[in-house]
Structure 1
Amino acid sequence: MNTPIDTFYRHLREWFTVFLPRQRAVSPHTITACRQAWNLLLGYVDNSRGIRLEKVTFAVLDRALIAGFLDDMTTTRGWTATTYNQRLACIRSFFHYAATAEPTLAMHLADIAGIPQKKSPAKLPVCHLTTTAVTALLAAPDPATKAGLRDQFFMILMYDLAARDAEMLALTVGDINTQRRSAELVGKGSKPRRLPITPDTAAHFRRYVETFHPDGDLVQPLFYTIHDHRKTPMSDDNVARFLRQHADTARQACPEMPGKVHPHMLRHSRAMHLYQAGMPLPILTEWLGHADPETTLIYAHADTEMKRAALEKATQGHNVSPSPPPIWHDRQDIIQRLCGLT
């Protein structure tokens, strides 16, 4: 006969190994995020409540404990309302699965259903770096060292692609094609997209793989750490750490560097710079992998400089010189690569 402890861990194991990947076909990124959420929750139970992991049951994970966990993560880890609500949805999803598989567990689902979502504050302007700050940041690592070479190439590639952190960490060596000068990314919802990279980025890639992937194994994670003599994908915590470190170095020579720099800021910066350079919003939507075109409008709303320039042109009468053509003018090859047509 199964004990309450056996029941909890059996359902949790089946939720991770069967329900999420096979029945729901959710992306590996989502499964990883759910694993991280549950690792934090179980760690909270152990550390703050003194309940050993082998003693955790559905009854232990009541509304008060889960609400306390979410509030603690908000305080100690700086979770935003969006992160708070995503982690709550992850926990509820498991309880819903368990209640469906075993109706006697529905009482526990009803208990945590009373935890309200956190309201998101009004959206702030997009935080992005100026081109000067980006240049200073990319120049901060010392490529003569192995760690500096890795950190610099990671930031160069992330900026060039305007990629998400998770998309970068999921790249394999074979995802970069230097002959075609393109990169294959897998975004949210496991949606693939192909993006062009610059010749300079392709050259940085060749130098990077000569040092970190001399064996030429195309299926190895592009950015990795060594665990038990194996290459495993680098963690997002490691990325955030070295980005802060290099931003602190760059700030000494570049006053434009913000006080707080995080990985997603490189994505925002590249997107803003592409928009300012003339990339139409529909193409920018494809570039960023946004499912909803409305999401991309944040760059149009946030770009004060372009609004100021438009205002100046409108007040200068008819003697306004024509705007320079956008960088994508007459470059159908780039647009076709971006949209996966070649």
Structure 2
Amino acid sequence: MPSTLLLDRVEQFLDYLSVERGSPANTISSYRTDLLQFAVYFSRDVDEITTGTFDEIRPTVIAEFAVTLRNSGLKPNSTSRKIAAIRSFFAYLHNEGLVSRDPSQDVPLPKLGKSLPHILTIEQARNLVTIPLKTSSSNSAVRDEAMLQLSYASGLRVTELVSLNLENVDIKSQRVRCMGKGQKERIVPFHNQASERIQLYLDTARPIFDKNGSTEALFLNQRGGQITRQGFWVILKKYAEINGLSDAITPHTLRHSFATHLLQGGAPLRHVQELLGHASISTTQIYTHLTTDFLREEYETAHPRARFNRD
């Protein structure tokens, strides 16, 4: 049975998160689960906190807890989340004077391997962004194809895409101006086909959606409101399923594919960084790994000795 005092402090911390920090209910629920799991682990060796200052809890206990989680087969991301919850808890206790030192600060978070984003082939991307008007001539299909074409043509983040206003898109010069992370503005070009689809949307579907002519948002739903991130995700999943790509699609799949296809075509990494709006080129470098994998596949397909060895 976990220490009563420790459980009381956990609830005190959760109340603090709820009342003073305004943390959402699902965050508090996750913290409760993670901290109670640690409390149970700690109680295996200590029946009760005796000093009232929690000094019995040493860094080694937290480190051993992390090892136990890893050995149980828990994914590194989940282990890292649990240790982060413990860190937040002890930081709170330290600020409240309930521990003389924070034992969790000496415990490193598990190293997380960078997972490579899934990308579409050029053919898959082409099929995805042109499928709406091949399956329907509705106003929604016109809008959907304009969004998909612009997404793949510009590499915008989903939030950037759905936040666009009319003034942000220049059809004549084929450029879009968006506000990225850190309120940094950038201008990104797009190609002829995207330009044609956006113009078609502006001429036909958008006036129908914007019944009162009162909104500046570029992409609208059928009620005249701005398309949300969730709304675009529904659109993307719909056409991915039609193309048999539902398992491969995430909200940023077209952005990842945009970057990788540019690098495959010979674009300099620095230029791709600027187009994506990455503050650091190290963030963009993950796409070079994808390009290397692509080149390896092309090599093994095309090189006669590679084919011979594989066979």
Matching residue's letter, 2:281: P
- Residue 170 of structure 1 and its aligned partner are, at CA, apart by 2.1
Given the alignment of the two structures, is residue 161 of structure 1 paired with residue 154 of structure 2, yes or no? yes
Task: Write the mapping of 1:98-247 to structure 2, written as runs, cut at 5 A.
Answer: 104=96, 117=109, 119-121=111-113, 123-141=114-132, 142-210=135-203, 211-213=205-207, 214=210, 219-220=216-217, 222-224=219-221, 226=223, 231-236=225-230, 238-247=231-240
- Judged with a 3 Å threshold, the aligned counterparts in structure 2 of structure 1 residues 293 and 249 are, in CA distance, closer, same or farther, namely same
Secondary structure at the counterpart of residue 144 of structure 1: coil
Separation in 2 of the partners of 1:289 and 1:127?
19
Separation in 2 of the partners of 1:275 and 1:84?
34
Matching residue's letter, 1:40: N
Cα root mean square deviation, aligned: 4.6
Given the alignment of the two structures, is residue 11 of structure 1 paired with residue 8 of structure 2, yes or no? no
Query: Deviation per CA, 1:103-125, whole angstroms, max 9, x where unpaired?
Result: 64988xx799899856424x444
Matching residue's letter, 1:120: L
- Residue 147 of structure 1 and its aligned partner are, at CA, apart by 2.8
Residue 63 (structure 1) aligned to one of 32, 35, 54 = 35
Alignment check: 8 A CA contact 1:224 1:231 kept: yes
- Residue 137 of structure 1 and its aligned partner are, at CA, apart by 1.3
Alignment check: 8 A CA contact 1:225 1:233 kept: no
Secondary structure at the counterpart of residue 156 of structure 2: coil
Matching residue's letter, 1:262: T
Matching residue's letter, 1:176: V
TM-score computed with the length of structure 2 as normaliser: 0.61
Identity score, percent: 23
Alignment check: 8 A CA contact 2:129 2:148 kept: yes
Separation in 1 of the partners of 2:82 and 2:161?
22
Given the alignment of the two structures, is residue 41 of structure 1 paired with residue 27 of structure 2, yes or no? yes
Alignment check: 8 A CA contact 1:128 1:266 kept: yes
- Judged with a 3 Å threshold, the aligned counterparts in structure 2 of structure 1 residues 113 and 305 are, in CA distance, closer, same or farther, namely closer
Alignment check: 8 A CA contact 1:157 1:201 kept: yes
Alignment check: 8 A CA contact 1:143 1:152 kept: no
Structure 1 residue ranges without an equivalent (≥5) = 14-34, 46-57, 68-79, 252-256, 316-342
- Residue 190 of structure 1 and its aligned partner are, at CA, apart by 2.0
Alignment check: 8 A CA contact 2:163 2:217 kept: no
Matching residue's letter, 2:258: R
Separation in 2 of the partners of 1:184 and 1:94?
42
Query: Deviation per CA, 1:82-102, whole angstroms, max 9, x where unpaired?
Result: 699689979988997x899xx
Separation in 1 of the partners of 2:187 and 2:238?
30
Alignment check: 8 A CA contact 2:90 2:103 kept: no
Separation in 2 of the partners of 1:91 and 1:12?
17
Task: Write the mapping of 1:246-265 to structure 2, written as runs, cut at 5 A.
Answer: 246-251=239-244, 257=245, 259-265=247-253
Structure 2 residue ranges without an equivalent (≥5) = 1-11, 40-74, 305-311
TM-score computed with the length of structure 1 as normaliser: 0.56
Task: Write the mapping of 1:68-87 to structure 2, written as runs, cut at 5 A.
Answer: none
- Judged with a 3 Å threshold, the aligned counterparts in structure 2 of structure 1 residues 204 and 268 are, in CA distance, closer, same or farther, namely same
Whichever of the two has the greater Rg, that structure is: 2
- Residue 242 of structure 1 and its aligned partner are, at CA, apart by 2.9
- Residue 272 of structure 1 and its aligned partner are, at CA, apart by 1.3
Separation in 2 of the partners of 1:62 and 1:248?
36
Secondary structure at the counterpart of residue 21 of structure 2: helix
- Judged with a 3 Å threshold, the aligned counterparts in structure 2 of structure 1 residues 82 and 307 are, in CA distance, closer, same or farther, namely same
Residue equivalent to 2:270:
282
Matching residue's letter, 1:41: T
- Judged with a 3 Å threshold, the aligned counterparts in structure 2 of structure 1 residues 40 and 8 are, in CA distance, closer, same or farther, namely closer
